[in-house]
Amino acid sequence: MTTTNKKSAKGHEWWRSSVIYQVYPRSFADANGDGIGDLQGIKKRLPALAELGVDAVWYSPFFKSPQNDAGYDVSDYRNIDPLFGTLEDFDQLVAESHSLGLKVIVDLVPNHSSSEHEWFKLALQAEPGSPERDRYIFRDGKGESGELPPTNWRSVFGGSAWTRVTEADGKAGQWYLHLFDSSQPDWNWENPEIIDEFNSILRFWLDRGADGFRIDVAHSMKKDWNFPDLDESNSDSGGGALTEADIPHPFWNREGVHDINRRWRSVLDEYDDRAMCAEAWVMPLSRMAKWVRPDEYHQTFNFGYLDCPWDATKLRSVIDESLAAFGGVGAPSTWVLSNHDVVRHTSRFGLTENPPQGQGIGPEHKQPNEKLGLRRARAASAFMLGLPGGAYLYQGEELGLPEHSTLEHRYRQDPTYFRTNGEKVGRDGCRVPIPWEHDKPSFGFGEAASTWLPQPNVFAKYARDVQEGVEGSTLELYKKLLQIRKDYSLGSGELHWLEPLCGDSSIAFENNGVLIISNLGEPMSLPSGEILVSTQTGLMASGQLETDQTAWIRL
Ligand code: GLC
Ligand code: CA
């Protein structure tokens, strides 16, 4: 199978400094006109990503799935869902990506399968205590006749984390654990069969040419088999941002998960130059850093940075903590501002407060300030792309695309909305199909008259074709930033704060001879030097960096 990999020298591996672009397959491009994105659609649009200047593309799950959680509920780990295409389409996508110089990162979901997975169906048919049930986490309930769930643990999406099954005799029986939706039963990672199965799944995609994995909810596979109840105040599983007082926790970030990390790392090390990145909502950063020790993950998402508000002092301290924590174990830091689980940063920065994760923004909520949000988002992205380490972009952010914050509830698909009875509107607002051409049906996303989530009219002005070649557009800004980042090897450089320019309302550092400065306060004058790129039009003439603007200057 096709691979582009040549082993790179230690310390200079591609993943240490790359820009990885997240494609959400349902919403990137639709080739067959059914209103849902697919692999052929992506393939057609790949040149646009090569032109943008990213190094790798991470694909959210496209595996066979009943799509109860947009594909994060996998029923066959070795096949493509017909909604998205076939294995042959995947092979073509890999070949095309590699010929354009783009790496391919596959999303692996090891904490849970779909309830439609063959092994879960067998588990339901089998008896309590059977080997089939032992692949998942089945327990008897509490109470006189087992009518109460085994613990008070709550699903991340709301409601109990346990669902009771009906046994073969027609009577209510055991309960199974699902940290997410009831259609996402958790695997039993104490069972050697599951360990072997996932090693084999990793090899399946590596053999097919995948350059690496993003590993979904990587910190929850190990459970406390004493099944203790949680304090009521803490039984809502949140996502893993624990304080030291909550540790050890019965399912988040247990020590044993590091054995799994090491096992997978040794599988990846059988191949040349592959990498894996953990989605682990582990805090504080000093704990997170343990995940990227030399024999564990290559990278982990840095959610401390993602959670950080647009505030100079806070940004600076998250960056310091990240570089110290990750650097301490010889790993690069990563930076990310948006993904398919959070409100797009263009809209987040247009609100006075970050909505809690999964909350989303609905038509009844206070609406973000679009102009302010976009200005700050551009400044924040320009700042992020100057930092050393790996950077992650989420599809549409290069267009400055806002959250769809007025999506009508009748269109909602995220299980969060249903499991919280609408209390949280969920994550659909950042998952809407992206606009390519302003005057085409579904803004060039595909031929269908309507898309799986409807696009708001405001997307027309953010369409790629409106921005292409237009000086000062967000798209052209990203292209320039990525080009200069490459020219000056900023991803593999080093950060040095420039103290005189750092205060309560501005932050500045030097990286490989480039000064990167963001102004979060009153207009300020700039040090002299050639302006390489900036978020502000007309900066060259004025020499004054306005509020919420970023500039890169050659020193
Ligand atoms: C991760 C994914 C999210 C999904 C959840 C359950 O957090 O990013 O989209 O719902 O895992 O798989
Ligand atoms: Ca389609």
DSSP string, 471-516: TT-HHHHHHHHHHHHHHTTGGGS--EE-GGG-SSSEEEEEETTEEE
In total, the chain counts a number of residues equal to: 555
pLDDT band of residue 207 (cuts 50, 70, 90) is very high
Give the residue-averaged pLDDT of 279-294: 92
1 band by pLDDT with thresholds 50, 70 and 90? very low
CB 335 within 8 A of CB 491: no
* End-to-end alpha carbon distance in the chain: 46
User: pLDDT of 94-124, one tens digit each?
Assistant: 999 999 999 999 999 999 999 999 999 999 9
∠ at Cα 354 (351, 355), nearest 5°?
105
Pocket test for ligand 1, best of 63, 74, 179, 216 (most atoms within 8 A of CB): 216
- The pLDDT > 70 percentage for the chain reads 96
Q: Pick from 237, 306, 341, 417 the residue to mutate for probing ligand 1's pocket: most ligand atoms within 8 Å of its CB.
A: 341
Q: Which of 222, 225, 223, 218 is nearest to 264 (CA)?
A: 218
CA-to-CA distance for 364 and 343, rounded, in angstroms?
Answer: 16
Q: Is residue 217 in contact with ligand 1, taking CB distance under 6 Å?
A: yes
- Express each pLDDT in 210-256 by its tens digit: 999 999 999 999 999 999 999 876 655 555 556 666 778 999 999 99
Ligand 1 atom 12 nearest Cα: 72
Please tell me which residue, 356 or 385, carries the higher pLDDT value: 385
Indicate if the pLDDT at residue 276 is higher than 80: yes
Mean pLDDT, rounded, for 312-335? 96
Beta bridge partner(s), residue 334: 390
Q: H/E element holding 120?
A: helix 118-125
Q: DSSP class of residue 131?
A: T
Q: What's residue 120's pLDDT?
A: 98
Least confident of 11-15, 123-127, 474-478: 11-15
**What mean pLDDT comes out for the span 17-33?**
98
pLDDT the model gives residue 541: 81
Domains of the chain with CATH codes: 14-111+192-467 (3.20.20.80), 118-177 (3.90.400.10), 494-554 (2.60.40)
Q: Quick one: the chain helix, strand, coil %, rounded to 5?
A: 30, 15, 50
- Its sign, for the CA torsion 294, 296, 298, 303, is negative
Q: How far is the CA of 491 from the centre of ligand 1 (A)?
A: 28
Please give the distance, rounded to the nearest whole angstrom, from the Cα atom of residue 145 to the centre of ligand 2.
48
Out of 69, 179, 252, give the residue to mutate to test ligand 1, the one with the largest number of ligand atoms within 8 Å of its CB: 69
User: Is residue 136 over pLDDT 80?
Assistant: yes
Note the pLDDT of residue 267.
98
The ligand 1 atom at the shortest distance from the C-alpha of residue 339 is 8
Q: Which of 266, 254, 276, 322 is nearest to 105 (CA)?
A: 276
Q: Are 89 and 194 in contact (CB under 8 A)?
A: no
Active site members: 216, 270
Better-scored residue on pLDDT, 233 or 553: 553
167: helix, strand or coil: coil
Whole-angstrom distance, CA of residue 55 vs CA of residue 209? 16
Residue 3 confidence (pLDDT) above 50: no
- At residue 127, the 3 state secondary structure works out as coil
Helix, coil or strand: residue 293: coil
Query: From CA 74, how far away is CA 63, in angstroms rounded?
Result: 6
pLDDT per residue as tens digits for the range 426-472: 999 999 999 999 999 999 999 998 999 999 999 999 999 999 999 99
- CB of 361 closer than 6 angstroms to any ligand 1 atom: no
Q: Kindly give the number of the ligand 1 atom that is closest to the alpha carbon of 69.
A: 10
Instruction: Say if ligand 1 is within 6 A of residue 394 CB.
Output: no
Please state the atom number of ligand 1 nearest to the C-alpha of residue 109.
Answer: 12
Q: How many CB atoms lie within 10 A of CB 313?
A: 13
Residue 503 Cα to ligand 1 midpoint, Å, equals 37
pLDDT of 245 reads 64
The pLDDT of residue 2 is above 50: no
Instruction: Tell me what pLDDT residue 249 has.
Output: 92
Least distant ligand from the CA of 32: 2
Smallest CA-to-CA distance from 464 within 488, 440, 487 is with 440
Distance in angstroms (rounded) separating the CA atoms of residues 29 and 258: 37
pLDDT score of 310 more than 70: yes
Residues 6+ apart with CB under 8 A from 483: 53
- The finding on whether 180 has its CB within 6 A of some atom of ligand 1 is yes
Ligand nearest to the CA of 447: 2
Is the pLDDT assigned to residue 208 strictly greater than 80? yes
pLDDT of residue 537: 92
Instruction: Put the strands of the sheet holding 496-497 in their side by side order.
Output: 496-497, 506-511, 514-519, 549-554, 530-534
The yes-or-no verdict on residue 139 having pLDDT over 50 is yes
- Position 233 scores a pLDDT of 65
Report long-range pairs for 293-297 (Cβ below 8 Å, ≥24 apart).
Answer: 293/329, 293/331, 294/329, 294/330, 295/262, 295/265, 295/266, 296/258, 296/261, 296/262, 296/265, 297/215, 297/218, 297/261, 297/265
Convert the pLDDT of each residue in 350-374 to its tens digit: 999 888 888 999 999 999 999 999 9
Ligand 1 atom with the smallest distance to the CA of 341 is 9
- H or E segment and range at residue 94: helix 87-99
